[in-house]
Amino acid sequence: MMKSFTSKMAMPAGVRSFSTTRAANMKIVAALYDDPTTGYPPKYARDDIPKIDKYQDGQTAPTPSAIDFNPGDLLGCVSGELGLRKFLESQGHTYVVTSDKDGPNSRLSKELVDADVVISQPFWPAYITKQLMDSAPKLKMCLTAGIGSDHIDLQEACKRKITVAEITYCNSESVAEHVVMMILGLVRNYIPSYQQVVNGGWNIADCVQRAYDVEGMNVGTIAAGRIGLGVLKRLAPFHCKLHYTDRHRLPKEVEEKYNLTYHATPQEMVKVCDVVTINCPLHPETEHMFNAKMIASMKRGAYIVNTARGKICDRDEIAKALRSGQLAGYAGDVWFPQPAPQDHPWRTMPWHAMTPHTSGTTLSAQTRYAAGVREVLECFFASKPIRNEYLVAQNGKLAGVGAHSYSEGNATGGSEEAAKFKRQ
């Protein structure tokens, strides 16, 4: 059951709202995922988390003027509110938080009609389509609490001069760790082996008949940005043969340090790889990149790990390739749409290691992206420049990280299917 809280009046389930006694300046609406089924945690498995001040490339972690939460708290759900309640209330703004995000009768759709800012997450995306923008004439900013703003119609946002921002690098290392975990899980056949123990079994042959070493395998990444390069760095000690393709080639010294082989196109790279990890943004140029033709060109028995975006792969072709044996395994945490309907073929296809979209929303990552959201809002309210690395679109065109990583267009088509998801 969804948990709800109110400040002054009863609100529908899954919604948390507050306003101040002073005249509110702006209305901010956030779409966050549901609370734990057991309720908001009274305590956590650990007492603290490591403090990260600077990322691997030298970029500083978010630097808001203050934070109103304990690092390591669960912030990405409805009750967590991204730790923004006290800050926004003190500024005189109205803040609505809901997990009810899909369909024309959703709380999100109803609240957006007079909203100035909408906050969403890649893990529980509010699909900001042209239709939603049509209903929200005051909308000035779409802010992603995380990385990846493909759930927003960027072409339409540019047309309307709506600012789009995300918290670049806040969870890149989190996702890179998840990718390596999933590669090892597939290649070593971990999940069926674990299930042997849970089910009371001990048949070693059942476990190892699909288990291999990753050592010596050709592993390639589609895109070698912060996440893709982070994966390659982590795999170097495993003595794999490492490959990458990216429209921005890495410096020669980086290629030499990690013994990387560059390929001009994804099509060229996947032919030689035993494992392919997808780490590129979703935009019209990458939508359904892994179609029947691409998958057929791969080595028989290859593995795919996709923590980028589900729509980069044709979902039916992935399931078909696993059933035929063309692919030996598929893992990832990204689906299209999200949440995935119960009849999504990836839930039941063989040899998969799928999870809900969790790789970038660890408690460690939540601390960083919640702080980053506050930093962006502080700049926005004060009419100060937002960090260039956080900008996706501004003043009617792609900007900052958006100009580097995206192409203008719309990748939200079909997102209405998310309304089919039924909470258990």
55: Cβ contacts below 8 Å, ≥ 6 apart? 61, 169, 172, 173, 226
80-94: b or e for each residue (b if 16 or more CB lie within 10 Å)?
bbbbbbebbbebebb
Of the residues 107, 151, 243, 357, which is catalytic?
357
Which amino acid belongs to residue 115?
A
| Cis check: omega of the bond before 339, within 30 degrees of 0 | yes
Q: Is 338 a catalytic residue?
A: yes
Tokens 């007079």 belong to which residue? 114
Q: Which two tokens stand for residue 403?
A: 């100009």
Cβ(75)–Cβ(371) under 8 Å? no
**Catalytic residue selected from 226, 283, 309, 315:** 309
* 347 is annotated as an active-site residue: no
- Residue of 403, 51, 57 lying closest to 229 (CA atoms): 57
Q: Which of 218, 338, 366, 394 is catalytic?
A: 338
Catalytic residue selected from 121, 171, 218, 306 = 171
Query: 3-state DSSP call for residue 345?
Result: helix
Active site residue 70: no
Cis peptide before 62, with omega less than 30 degrees from 0?
no
Q: Are 3 and 32 within 8 A, CB to CB?
A: no
110: its two tokens:
């109803």
Clarify whether 46 is annotated catalytic.
Answer: no
Q: Which residues contact 382 (CB under 8 A, 6 or more apart)?
A: none
Contacts of 189 (CB under 8 A, 6+ apart): 207, 208, 209, 210, 211
- Shortest CA distance to 93 belongs to which of 157, 196, 16, 19? 19
Q: Are 226 and 369 in contact (CB under 8 A)?
A: no
Name the residue among 410, 337, 344 with its Cα closest to residue 102. Answer: 337
> Which residues are annotated as catalytic?
171, 309, 338, 357
